[in-house]
Amino acid sequence: MIYILVGADDFSLREKLTEFKRGWGEEEELALNTTVFDGRHLTLSQLLNACNTPPFLATHRLVVVEGILGRFEEKTMGRSPDFEEWKKLGEGVLGMPPNNVLALIDGEVAKNNPLYKSLAPISQVWQFAPLKGQKLHQWISSRVAKCGGNVSPQAMWLLADLGGENLWMLASEIDKLCLYAYGRRIEVEDVRQVSSYVREASVFAMIDAIVERRVSVAMRLMHQALTEGMTPAYLLVMLTRQLRLMVQALEMSAQGISLAQRREQLGVSPKFPIEKLAEQSAGYSIPRLVGVYEKLLETDTAIKTGKWKDELALDLLVAELCCQVHLKKA
């Protein structure tokens, strides 16, 4: 049997695979009879050899291949000219032992992917699109219920807004919240108190306020971050990261690189606000960003040497970065 599990919702995909495994025998026995391959570097003969090896002292044998379908996406076909060989895979696994299972795991796959098209008719295909809107709310409510908890609509919406499609993060935050609010309903304030993601979101909001020179908002968010336990060193690291991204964005803009290509070259997630980064960096010149970096270094040194107290040093930094006027681009 061939199983194809594909889609951007990696969390639900992995949960479904785990569910399948429970039906394929004892956990320890199946683990001894499981082979996992990186499909990017796999040869057809290696895969067929594994598929045709019978189970050893177990009811099933599982062969998992991650990323093989992605090799045959249109954007990567230039690097994978071997489809003439790989189209034999379907025929090659038809004769494998009846209790052997081949599971192909991948992200989003186009319908015209040649390997996918050749295998889908003889496979069980499961697709996992990102959860959005009402489906995401239902998933959060269900996940909380599985933990033995209950969540208010407002807290659920806040979690959905913060976590978006990242079910790995949401599952982790829900587990913490269920323990924190044990025996009572999870409320908005619980999410604010417990969720590290909420605190991260406030740090990103602070950084946006600083680079956009909204001094009162930046000051308020900076003091809030310190109150919530963020260290000055961490805030400086996050500011430095943003500065690096802005420098790279300016250089790519000068080269005429598209927003989609910038996202790829920066190595950021699909949800990263690349348009906002382009907007923010457009208000700076490279010399100005160099000056900001020097100011960050000066602040870090002042804190570490005890020249200024942490909070005072950050107050001075935020005030200076927000209040300086735009410099003309070099």
- pTM beyond 0.85: the answer is no
- The domain spans of the chain are 2-127, 133-194, 208-323
Please list the pLDDT of the chain residue by residue as tens digits (330 residues).
Answer: 899 999 989 999 999 999 999 999 888 899 999 999 988 888 999 999 999 999 998 899 999 999 899 888 876 544 455 777 888 898 888 889 999 999 999 988 888 899 999 999 999 999 999 898 899 999 999 999 999 999 999 999 888 877 777 888 889 889 989 999 988 999 988 887 777 666 666 778 888 888 888 888 888 888 877 877 778 888 888 888 888 889 988 888 888 888 878 877 887 766 677 888 888 888 888 888 888 888 888 898 888 888 888 888 888 888 888 875 443 333
Burial class (CB in 10 A: 0-12, 13-18, 19+), 262: buried
Q: So what's the pLDDT on residue 21?
A: 92
Per CATH, is 208-323 categorized as 1.20.272.10? Answer: yes
- Phi/psi at 301 (5° precision): -65, -40
pLDDT tens digits, 233-258 = 888 888 888 888 899 888 888 888 88
Q: Does residue 263 contact residue 272 with C-beta atoms inside 8 Å?
A: yes
To the nearest 10°, report the CA torsion of 215, 219, 221, 223. Answer: 180
**In the CATH scheme, what is the homologous superfamily, with its name and number, of domain 2-127?**
P-loop containing nucleotide triphosphate hydrolases (3.40.50.300)
Q: Which helix (H) or strand (E) holds 12?
A: helix 10-22
CATH of the structural domain 133-194, one choice from 1.10.3720.10, 2.40.110.10, 1.10.1760.20, 1.10.8.60: 1.10.8.60
